[in-house]
Amino acid sequence: MRKSMLAILIALGIAGLVVPGGVFAKDPRLSPKRLSSTGDSITEAINAEEFNPFIFITPNHWASWANGYYGFWEWLFGRTNVKSHNQRISSNFGSSGRKNFMQALSGADSFDLPGQTAQSVSNAATYVTHFMGHNDVCQGSFADIPSDAQFEANVRAGLNNMKNGLPNGATVYVQAIVDIYKLWQLGDQLTSFGIIDCRVIWAASLFNIFPCATMLSPLNSEADRQYTRSRNVAFNTILQNLVNEFNANDTHHYYQYTTVTFDTTFTADQVSPFDCFHPSAKGQKDLSAYTWADGPFKAYTK
């Protein structure tokens, strides 16, 4: 009996079913040369360094933490070199075969993620960044914040798109939703154009002219703001759990989650000097640095 059991165990070991590195090993990780960034206005670098008063929402794509670039014109006009993930990939992996796709769009929330990830798939991305959920937390009213079940369903649909369509060996890097309460805490330190108290601008959230009434409305109590923050935290927990689930069960792709975007404390110079809401160019540069340093390619330091 013992010999029979031993023979079975040996046979299973030979078949690679019980030894590390057997059939459950992941495919080799691909180079991140085909970058696709899903997300919202933060990844679009809205109002980071330049502002058009006629359109208010001004994409500054060169200053994006994920997709930013720094060429001759950026140098000539004195724009900030944010050393984005896009730039770091070229520095560390070379420019040959490089592709850079911006799927992120201002105003996007988790309901838009399936569509954005479908674009990532169509672009055959080998590295996808996901930084979204701020507009799920930032609503005009508390009743408009999605339920946990709806948020999870939206994100799961996006992850399933990538699981089923990205090239084998691709990497998905998910960032936690920023702790928006920390923006509120900076209120007495922030001005727009150096003259207007940002709390005056935030008051426009009462009329749905400015976003994020669920955190920034002057009528909110501290209990209201803590409720909004609890939704922020709950959505991050869902993101983390889904990343762990997909990484454990998908042998063809790599999934990683970071809390650094939630944990890091803001400083006033990291907030847009125009709209008092989005990251400034310095904020984008810092965001690139600490997400890269905690990310899947952190061993590459150029």
Per-residue burial over 78-117, b if 16 or more Cβ lie within 10 Å, else e, is ebbebbbbbbbbbeebeeeeeebbbbbbbebbbebbbebb
- pLDDT score recorded for residue 5: 45
Tell me the C-alpha to C-alpha distance, in Å, between residue 194 and each of 113, 126, 242, 245, 246. 36, 42, 42, 46, 46
CB atoms within 10 A of CB 199: 15
Say whether 172 sits in a helix, a strand or coil. strand
Query: For all residues of the chain together, what is the average pLDDT?
Result: 92
User: Which residues lie across from 226 on neighbouring strands?
Assistant: none
Q: Which of 70, 66, 69 is nearest to 32 (CA)?
A: 66
Give the whole-angstrom CA distance, residue 41 versus residue 102.
11
- pLDDT score recorded for residue 208: 86
Q: What percent of the chain has pLDDT over 90?
A: 87
Fold for domain 30-178+229-293? Rossmann fold (3.40.50)
Q: Is the pLDDT of residue 12 over 80?
A: no
Please write the tens of the pLDDT for every residue from 63-113: 999 999 999 999 999 999 999 999 999 999 999 999 999 999 999 999 999
Please write the tens of the pLDDT for every residue from 204-245: 998 888 999 999 999 999 999 999 999 999 999 999 999 999
CB atoms within 10 A of CB 250: 20
pTM of the model: 0.91
Residue 106 CA from chain centroid, whole number:
13
For residues 92 and 302, the answer to whether their CB atoms sit within 8 Å is: yes
Q: Cα angle vertex 201, ends 198, 202, to 5°?
A: 85
Please write the tens of the pLDDT for every residue from 142-189: 999 999 999 999 999 999 999 999 999 999 999 999 999 999 999 999
Give the whole-angstrom CA distance, residue 1 versus residue 50.
77
Tell me the C-alpha to C-alpha distance, in Å, between residue 137 and each of 46, 64, 143. 18, 22, 11
Range of lowest pLDDT (5-14, 261-270, 288-297): 5-14
Please write the tens of the pLDDT for every residue from 32-65: 999 999 999 999 999 999 998 888 889 999 999 9
Q: Which of 266, 265, 248, 268 is nearest to 257 (CA)?
A: 248
- pLDDT score recorded for residue 55: 82
Identify the residue with better confidence: 4 or 29: 29
Q: Which of 32, 46, 81 is nearest to 286 (CA)?
A: 81
